[in-house]
Structure 1
Amino acid sequence: MFSQRTIRPLSAAALCGIAFIEDTLIAIDTPKGHLLQIDPISDNTKILNSHQVREFRDVTGLAVWSDTLWVTRDNSVYLCNLNSLGLEHFATLPYPADGVAVWESTVYVSCQKLGCILIFDRDTRKEITRFYAPGVGVENLVVSEETLWVSDTIEQTVYCIDRATGEVQFSVLTPFACPTGIALHKNGETGEETLFVAYASEEPYIRDNPNADPNYELTYRDRTFIHPLYYHYDPDKRCALSNGYLIEMSYAEEISPLEEVYLQDVEWRIALPSETDRQKVKHIEPIGLPFTEEEKDGQRVAVFKLDTLTPGERHIFGWKALLEVRGIKYRITPKDVEDIPEELPFQGRYLVDDDDLAMDTTIVRRAARDAVASETNLLRKMYNIRNYVYDELSYGIKPYIDTPDIVLERGVGSCGEYVGVLLALCRLNDIPCRTVGRYKCPPLGEHKDVPLQPDFNHVWLEFYIPNFGWLPMESNPDDIGDRGPYPTRFFMGLCWYHIEIGKGITFESLSSKGTRLTKEDVAIGDLAINHIQFTILEELPPF
């Protein structure tokens, strides 16, 4: 069985279109023009077009129906017999043709520049109709029975589309970035279908160069592979779960003050991982010192107690958690939220300025009005606010977080500052929202049993829709261009490497003799060094 392994064909640089012929996988290595036959069990690879490499160079889409191979190259769609591989012109688009899929006499072709999926009749070679493309990136296609599956490079998403109407049924986040091809394998014995997705990108690595001094240098290399995509769609919750991993996460503080302090009756609180639809907490244990556990607003918090903290005293304390985490993507449309109640919950908390959000300043209030204009639908308002913030801000790392008024005036913000602006604009528009974080596991699913350390902490937010509950939204990762169009992969979605800790509460706090200390009293960052480590233990089995 190969439905649970990563396929890594030797010598491939960038795989795009892929397809199955029974249990044999064929794929196009786009920059080389190699049409590859791949054994998905052994990764053994053979070039099928040894004498037609030039004709297949820059092919992006690939499909097989019966004994006919279909490909896209530049603006055109071609077909050929699998045995002869002599390309015959089928149709030409005004812009580059990206992906192709065939079902009987119907041919589907995706085109990013047109923003459409075009449907042709194979016999007449005429366009029948077209659908709007569901994402903003380059898309590849595969079709089965009544379903058209669409992978999108920028959206990091696979869409399930009704092939008769073009309506998106649900979407699934892929476990890796930059999906470039998609294929469907049908088990001949059980009839079970499994999606496989090709990925192609570059990865940085440290090269040992004997001719340089120093001999280690940073460079890049091609990274391409094929991996099964697992998913489970829950129509009641309107969400789809996808590939996940069993992860061990450790968070520990090492007392190492910049200036020695003396504190009595110390209580050091650190939020614990949350239990959610996509994240299951299997086990938690203390590191260094024992802790008691308390609950705050439905979130678990570890409480470490010290009778005194004296000058020269040193401790390491924290927690280690075993987590099952998966990707999640919600499919909720503006039409679904037309009849929500006017009186929203959480009026007293998630609609007020409780975290230096500068909601009473002129620039923030004006931004809140401009962002939604005359829109009244809650989901469209949320979408407009996100796009407005992405238009106004560019991403930049800073050692501290400024208030939203300063951030809007400056036009540059960190992830925490993006969240602050989003919170302020949402709450001023009567959309309940809260902060979530605190870390992301380095997204290296193939690096199992290797300690991984994130470079930065991270925060995002959740907004509340009555009848649906709290929905996630990333702070800045989807702000990838200038003035859009912006992807929506993390709008109501999170990938497996997001670790949800302390929803809507402070991640870490310190108190002495029953009084909570502010950063003006004693800043936690001046008192201790945090140590965060992830270990990916295994990929979770299919659903």
Structure 2
Amino acid sequence: MNFALPSLTASQMFGQKTIRPIGAAILSGIAFFQDTLIAIDSPKGYLLQIDPATDNTKILNPHQSKEFTDVTGLAIWEDTLWVTRGNSVYLCKWNSWGLEHFVTLPYPANGIAVWESTVYVSCQKLGDIVIFNRDTRKEITRFYAPGVGVENLAVTDEILWACDATEQSVYCMDRATGEVQFSVLTPFESPTGIAVQTEKNTGQQTLYVAYASEEPYVRDNPNADPNHELAYRDRTFIHPLYYRYFPEKRYALSNGYLIEMSYVEEIAPIEEVYLQDLEWRIALPSDTDRQKVKHVEPVGLPFTEEIIDGQRVAVFKFDALTPGERHMFGWKAVLEVRGIKYRLTPTDVEDIPELSPEYQTRYLVDNDELAMDTTIVRRAAQEAIGTETNLLRKMYSIRNYVYDQLSYGIKPYIDTPDRVLERGVGSCGEYVGVLLALCRLNGIACRTVGRYKCPTYAEHQHVPLQPDYNHVWLEFYIPGFGWLPMESNPDDIGNNGPYPTRFFMGLCWYHIEIGKGIPFETITSKGVRLTKEEISIGELAINHIRFTILGELPPF
């Protein structure tokens, strides 16, 4: 069966285009001036005029590039250009490019936005967005910065937009009070600039976000032997950010992709076995608020389908698996997957109902070798929350405690939480084990989710992509609201925090949800489930995982 993207209008096709300015190294601030896209290339000091349709790039300040070097934030109001450089804010008339000092902060000024007589300046080291009066140059007030990273700004009539490079997020804030209305995950890492384009005829507004990072690539060096070597290069571009906010459900969706995923097992045992009346179960992708299963079909051999705890599972049946017998079997699915970010505050969970007896029995017990009866795990569960009683604050405290105690490292097997805490190093699965144990001991229902992440090369479409590893995270349950996602280790950036919350109640488009709260893969023989001590699936078969990104989903 062939799947095509929905037909797009000309404006939608233009909007979805990734803009890659010719010759740009690191884009920081971006803005629109009379429907023209303007950007600053920070290390070069180039003020760029960019044609979004062709990527054609013009340097507007050919004689003043040194003056604009290391500019990070950029805003335009009427005929005045505003920039941040170092600790200071500067302005100049359009086309003059002679910078005039406006104000100096005690620490580096990162981003800037201007609306009429109000000037917004973000400062990561202050942890604030400082608001000045344009005419008096005096500080009016300041808002708490919503994230922990370097933030750039844009502003419209009622909204202050902040993009955070570390949080991989864009925040929608009330520009009068600084209250965060909602936030969305960006489809790419390291957002460094944000701008709002307003359609003249319709008034429709589109967000554009600039990104800047380094990417690894294989360099062909004819002077080396072997001639292929790993190198890094700058990667910078601009892409429209689409979102839809669902206030009644407390979440926002953002850019997504149509993805084909296949999971196939190849019978290739290390030691030959004979298994009679074999049933091999593999979980299928889930339908969720952010992930829609469009189609599923078998690969290699047919399967029947079962529902286990609300999750779809493919069942492959063999009368017998005999020595020397070989098969390939699995499933292929076509999915629509988007980024999702929930927004709940501790106040929202103050008066929640008690956890049901069913959920207490299923999600507060040690049913997966969590070592919840060991001294080190029980002590950690107490230390993690202190005297906190609010469920959301407890969850946040537990996450931060685990991040303080562990650093990331992978091994060929999963240790129990007590050994992981003693060692201080864990894989994603071991992070999940420790988090599950501490949460359950503190009365928070939680479960494992995963199982793979699509390689994050969104521009590599219609070519097979293989992930290097499987991946798991968890969901925690808030009575009266439902299950919320939380990543295992990617937000553990070290240095004892502060840790970003990009994947605390959020997932990006490349997270593939399969088999929530149930084992991903099991085998039974003559109706009896085989444990990994009896027969390990990894010693019985080789798995093949393939993703193909078919295209970006159209705007909402």
What TM-score results when the alignment is normalised by the length of structure 1?
A: 0.99
Q: State the partner residue of 2:414.
A: 401
Counterpart residue number, 1:86: 98
Choose from 524, 535, 543 the match for 2:548. Answer: 535
Answer yes or no: is 1:184 the counterpart of 2:196.
Answer: yes
Distance 2:553 2:326 in 1: 39
Identity of counterpart residues, as a percentage? 80
Q: CA deviation at 1:344?
A: 4.0
* C-alpha contact (below 8 Å) 2:353/2:480 kept by paired residues: no
Deviation at residue 343 of structure 1 after TM alignment: 4.1
Equivalent pairs counted in the alignment come to: 543
8 A contact 2:354–2:479 mirrored in 1: no
- Over the aligned positions, Cα root-mean-square deviation in angstroms equals 0.6
Which residue of the partner structure matches residue 144 of structure 2? 132
Q: Which of 230, 235, 246 is the equivalent residue of 1:218?
A: 230
Structure 1 residue 25 corresponds to structure 2 residue 34: no
* Match of residue 469, structure 1, among 479, 482, 486: 482
Per-residue Cα deviation, 1:254-305 (whole angstroms, up to 9, x for no partner): 0000000011100000000000000000000000000000000000000000
Question: Is it true that 1:358 corresponds to 2:371 in the alignment?
Answer: yes
Counterpart Cα distance in 2 of 1:442 and 1:380: 32
Aligned to 2:432: 419
Mapped contact 1:22–1:185 kept (Cα < 8 A): no
Show the counterpart of 1:271. 283
Counterparts of 1:38-437 in structure 2, within 5 Å, are 38-344=50-356, 346-437=359-450
Distance in 2 between the 1:411 and 1:343 partners? Answer: 32
TM-score by length of 2: 0.97
Correspondence for 2:24? 12
Give the letter aligned to residue 127 of structure 2: G
What is the Cα deviation at residue 481 of structure 1? 2.0
Corresponding residue SS for 2:15: coil
Write out per-residue CA displacement over residues 45-103 of structure 1, whole angstroms, 9 at most, x where no aligned residue.
Answer: 00000000000000000000000000000000000011211100000000000000000
Q: Which residue of structure 1 aligns with residue 3 of structure 2? A: none
Q: Classify the secondary structure of the residue corresponding to 1:521.
A: coil
Distance 2:354 2:39 in 1: 53
The aligned amino acid for 1:88 is: E
8 A Cα contact 2:243 2:252, kept in partner = yes
Letter in 1 for 2:210: A
Q: Distance in 2 between matches of 1:189 and 1:305?
A: 60
Q: CA deviation at 1:341?
A: 1.5
Measured in 2, the distance between the counterparts of 1:6 and 1:301 equals 37
Determine if contact 1:241/1:328 at 8 Å carries over to the other structure: yes
1:140–1:181 Cα contact (<8 Å) kept: yes
The runs of 5 or more residues in structure 2 that have no matched partner are: 1-10
Give secondary structure in 1 for the equivalent of 2:378.
helix
**SS of residue matched to 1:3:** helix
CA separation in 2, counterparts of 1:396 and 1:131? 38
Kept after mapping to 2: 8 A contact 1:337/1:377:
yes
The answer to whether the aligner puts 1:479 opposite 2:492 as a matched pair is yes
**Distance of 1:484 and 1:173 partners within structure 2:** 20
Tell me which moved more, 142-151 or 1-10.
Answer: 1-10
| Residues 440 and 498, structure 1, Cα contact 8 Å, conserved in 2 | yes
Corresponding residue number in structure 1 for 2:6: none
Distance in 1 between residues matched to 2:420 and 2:34, nearest whole Å: 56
Counterpart position of 1:455: 468
| Contact residue 74 and residue 111 of structure 2 kept, 8 A | yes
